[in-house]
Structure 1
């Protein structure tokens, strides 16, 4: 088990009844909880959802608090401060007064800072410090009314060659407050992407998906992400810009292997984080295996940090890779499958 789960087990005598595990790690914690605990899991990570589902756990995937009543909740500290505020507010709107909300996380992951975010809802107490982690308790004194989703959205405008886009980003989504440098470098080249069925792998707040839809109303966009908050943000961005709903298909994925087949193009500012950890597996698999999801003559477009070895990985699979630009620390990479002359 990860250290956070070990610390939870150290305090198991405090746990009782219907306990909601929020952002729980994919380990064996469930099998080590006492028998008087009826545990459920809330996750917005599709990889984690599939892990728990395969173990027949009571798991909910999405941005909404699971249905039902809970006696306690344990939050495993997420990376984003705004996301923790969202979780705490939603739990405070559902749990009864005097219910306990526990918080566990690594010291290097900001658990002490996170514990201060609980103060508006009740008194906090640090119960344990071990395995480079801390375990806090807050007894709920101030319940609240749940806010509508729109109140959690951060909005900003992106200028494009085809007019402005209004972006909607929910808590915890990549580049929540402003356009990231990589996508800014990428945008001028998206007009060169072939039209048709296009997958946006790692769609985030939907900047790339919305721009491709805006460029050509005949484009059908498959917005793919592991994060339910990103998928919901992309949906909101499409609605905010009055884009045709039929252009968009939202798809939760574990990786590029879940993409549709016979795509005309795959476009990506690929993800490289899982929580606070750096993880290049999803983006490296994109370079290595995306070819099988494309039609003959299909295109791969990626923007990535210049220090990454993606051009080499792409060339091994596609036999070609063109660097369209190299600026502000990012490269825009292009490759295509061999055109079948019979088509």
Structure 2
């Protein structure tokens, strides 16, 4: 059981009625609170929760419809995303209670100050290195406009400007990170066919691929609903059409790909997690056609070449700059 859930269950009498848990972990919390429902923006958590608690959890960027007496937000990493989520939940809770739970090292005490927008917050519990806060929503705010919170910027590229739309919580929100910038310079000579942007974020790579290879089928895959929504906005802003897929890791990718391109994630919340990136390297061959190519950017301290060569084939370094390297390998 996640320690944040353990703290909530110490106060289980507060959540005995219809309660919405937002950003909940894939543990047994819903099993312990039979009237509760979940809302998640993590495709992997959604799949696991749906398997165990069918119909009781929703995936997306807006809260599910329903009459909830209370809502609990599990603190996300991004302060801007926290602000949106609290407002979205408060808008559905006139006269109800809004709770915030999170780890101390994730900054829950500081984040609790954001509850002041809705009333005086109270700390209810502190245990398992976590805290639980509460505020009563006396007057519900208007439903927040998520798209209005987007950051929009333009990339000046050799083949013309590219518009990027980034929503709160998305990797490198409102800016182009150095790794992706380097990868964008090394997209020539890709095999035509079905191209995948793995871990698409705001959709920068996938949009450029579709523009540069218009005859190819392009898919964008991410685990995060806010990233997927950002990618759709980025594609639309550039008049492009591509497939946007929700899935937890490379196992969710289509088969028969001619190329996989990625700035693969290795951070999740306050914890460092390399699993999605390492799974990509181990399983890419199973999703590529013969001679299909993997091309990715990574911090140069990450020892990816041995994994690439073990599971795919000879690894070539195409470029190195600012602490990043571009690796290329083809399936034999």
Q: Which residue of 2 aligns with 1:341?
A: none
Q: Higher mean Cα deviation, 57-66 or 271-280?
A: 271-280
Distance 1:142 1:85 in 2: 17
| Residue in structure 1 matching 2:100, options 103, 128, 133 | 103
1:287 paired residue among 281, 289, 294? 281
- For 1:13 and 1:292, the matched residues in 2 are separated by 49
Change (3 A) 1:70 1:23: same
- Equivalent of residue 38 in structure 1, options 35, 51, 60: 35
Distance 1:141 1:181 in 2: 45
Deviations 1:193-247 (A, max 9, x none): 223210111000000001111112212211000101111110000001112x2xx
Aligned mate of 2:209, from 186, 208, 212? 212
- Could you tell me which residue of structure 1 aligns to residue 194 of structure 2? 197
Any residues of structure 2 matched to 1:180-329 within 5 Å, and which?
180-243=177-240, 245=241, 248-329=242-323
Alignment match, 1:9: 9
CA-to-partner distance for each residue in 1:84-133, whole Å, 9 max, x for gaps?
1111111122112x210011111100101110011111110011111111
Within-5 A mapping of 1:61-76 = 61-76=59-74
Contact 1:71/1:100 (8 A) holds in 2: yes
Deviation at 1:285, TM superposition (A): 1.1
Give the structure-2-normalised TM-score. Answer: 0.97
Aligned-partner Cα distance in 2 for 1:76–1:301: 35
Tell me how far apart the structure 2 counterparts of residues 17 and 56 of structure 1 sit (CA, whole Å).
17
Query: What secondary structure is seen at the aligned counterpart in 1 of 2:261?
Result: strand
CA contact (8 A) 2:84 2:146 kept: no
Q: Which residue of 1 aligns with 2:130?
A: 133
Alpha-carbon contact 2:102-2:108 (below 8 Å) kept: yes
Aligned residues: 331
- By how many angstroms is 1:330 displaced? 0.5
Separation (CA, whole Å) in 2 of partners of 1:167 and 1:114: 28
Structure 1 residue ranges without an equivalent (≥5): 339-343
How many Å apart are 1:13 and its aligned residue?
Answer: 2.2
Q: Extract unaligned runs of 5+ from structure 2.
A: none
Q: 1: distance between equivalents of 2:26 and 2:129?
A: 19
Q: CA deviation at 1:191?
A: 2.4
TM-score, normalising length from structure 1? 0.94
Per the TM alignment, residue 149 of structure 1 is displaced from its structure 2 partner at its CA by 3.2
